[in-house]
Structure formats: C-alpha cells, structure tokens
C-alpha cells in the first residue's frame, strides 16, 4: 500500500514509518523536505541494520498527499486547519486522523471543536469524497518513539466508510502488537479522542508512564 504521512517527522510519523515500511511504500512528508529526508534515511538505516529493506522516502507534505492511497495526518490539532489549507488532492483518499484536541489547566481536558471532534471537523476541511478514519489516537508519543519496544494496546477505529475502516484496521494490526477494534461510526471519535486527556491525567495522578488502553 502507498502511505503518505503529513507531518511525518514527528513521533507517530517516525513510529509508523519504522513499523510499516518493510511492508508498504511510505512517503514521510514535512513542511521541511530536508528534515523529512533525514528522518527517512534514518529509518532506512535502522531497518537495514536489522536486515529489513525499508521502502521509505522523504517528501514535502504535498508530495506525501499526492503519493499516498492512505494519508496519515500526524499533526497537532492547533496546526490542522492551516496545514490542510496549504494542501490539495485529498479526493477519494483514505485519511487517517490520530489527532486529539487537548487543553491543559490543572489537568488535561478534552477541548473539541464545535463539530464534536477533530475527526468530525475534517468533514468540513476535506473534500466530500475523502474517506475519513480515526485511529491511533490513544498511543503515547513516547511509545511511538521507542522503536524497539512492542505496542500492546487496543486501537479504537471509527469511520462512516466501512471499507476504508476495514483497510485501516488491517494496517493497525500490522503495527507491532496493536489490536484494532471497530468502534463504530465517526461520531464515536469524540469519545476515543477524549480518552487521550484521560490517560494523560491517569499517568500524572498515578505516577505512571506512557499510559495506554486495552479493551477486552
């Protein structure tokens, strides 16, 4: 599969590239193509040292969108609108959002836009034909970074497009020990996104690290 990662030089982008590029062709996108190329070369080198041939390239965010059948929006919610305003070509593509709108005062709290969730706001920001799927929301950034540790979490996947959801669930299940669960329509993404501030608070109040979630 051809996967383009917008904002691919961040933790989740690097993590996904590392964990999927033996099986899929990946464009790591960035506003700064040079940075993307460095991250890509680093991924290729690390996997090569482990005897794995990685199909991974550095690119601009636009090149990542143009390349991918599946696009991952690995960006902070604060930059979502401005990033998407600068990009085109999302028609008919599967777009994965791991984005969580979070604010912080004494504790972390869920701070969704008026549409109800970051995923639902994409319906306004992207063409109608874009196949929006929320996934990978509740995995701590640090866990993506730890490239040599397994991820033993559940990943709740939401979408109104059953076929796109199935494709993304298949991808999720290829990443480390992640276990995709169908969490229903895109409307449910607000609950899944809100679990991230909850687990950040659980980590904070219980002196735990990189808390994740499993449904069983």
Closest approach of its own copies to the CB of residue 3, in Å:
24
Nearest approach, Cβ of residue 66 and its own copies (Å) = 33
| CA angle at 5 for the pair 65 and 134, rounded to the nearest 5° | 100
Interacting residues toward its own copies by CB under 8 A: 106-107, 109-110, 156, 181-185, 187-188, 190-192, 194-195, 197-199, 201-202, 204-206, 208, 211-216
**Residue 193 vs residues 30, 75, 91, 189: alpha-carbon distances, Å:** 24, 14, 25, 6
Minimal CA–CA distance to 66: which of 35, 32, 92? Answer: 92
In the bound state with its own copies, the residue whose beta carbon lies nearer, of 85 and 216, is 216
The CA dihedral of 172, 159, 13, 86, to the nearest 10 degrees, is: 160
* 74 vs 194, beta carbon nearer its own copies: 194
Rounded Cα gap, residues 109 and 201, in angstroms? 9
Do residues 94 and 164 make contact, with C-beta atoms less than 8 angstroms apart? yes
Residue 89 or 212 with smaller CB distance to its own copies: 212
> Cβ of residue 153: shortest distance to its own copies, in angstroms?
9
- If the CB atoms of residues 38 and 191 are measured against its own copies, the closer one turns out to be 191
SS3 156: strand
Q: Are 58 and 40 in contact (CB under 8 A)?
A: yes
Which one, 141 or 208, has the nearer CB to its own copies? 208
Angle among Cα 1, 174, 163 to the nearest 5 degrees reads: 60
Question: Element (H or E) spanning 180, and its range?
Answer: strand 179-182
Q: How far is the CB of 180 from its own copies (least distance, A)?
A: 9
Radius of gyration over every alpha carbon of the chain, rounded to an integer in angstroms: 16
Q: Given the complex with its own copies, which of 30 and 194 has the nearer CB atom?
A: 194
Q: How far is the CB of 164 from its own copies (least distance, A)?
A: 15
Least distance (Å) from its own copies to the CB of residue 45? Answer: 32
């Amino acid at each position: 599969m051809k996967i383009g990662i917008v904002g691919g030089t961040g933790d989740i982008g690097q993590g996904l590239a590392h964990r999927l590029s033996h099986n899929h062709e990946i464009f790591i996108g960035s506003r700064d193509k040079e940075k993307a190329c460095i991250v890509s070369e680093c991924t290729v080198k690390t996997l090569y040292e482990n005897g794995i041939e990685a199909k991974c390239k550095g690119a601009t965010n636009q090149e990542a969108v143009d390349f991918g059948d599946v696009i991952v929006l690995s960006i902070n919610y604060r930059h979502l609108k401005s990033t998407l305003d600068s990009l085109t070509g999302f028609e008919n593509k599967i777009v994965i959002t791991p984005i969580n709108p979070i604010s912080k005062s004494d504790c972390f709290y869920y701070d969704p836009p008026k549409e109800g969730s970051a995923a639902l706001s994409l319906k306004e920001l992207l063409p109608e034909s874009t196949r929006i799927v929320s996934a990978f929301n509740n995995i701590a950034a640090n866990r993506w970074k730890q490239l040599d540790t397994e991820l033993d979490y559940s990943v709740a996947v939401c979408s109104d497009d059953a076929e796109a959801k199935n494709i993304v669930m298949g991808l999720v299940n290829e990443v480390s020990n992640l276990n995709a669960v169908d969490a229903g329509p895109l409307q449910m993404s607000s609950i899944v996104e809100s679990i991230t501030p909850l687990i950040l608070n659980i980590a904070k109040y219980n002196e735990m690290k990189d808390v994740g979630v499993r449904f069983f």
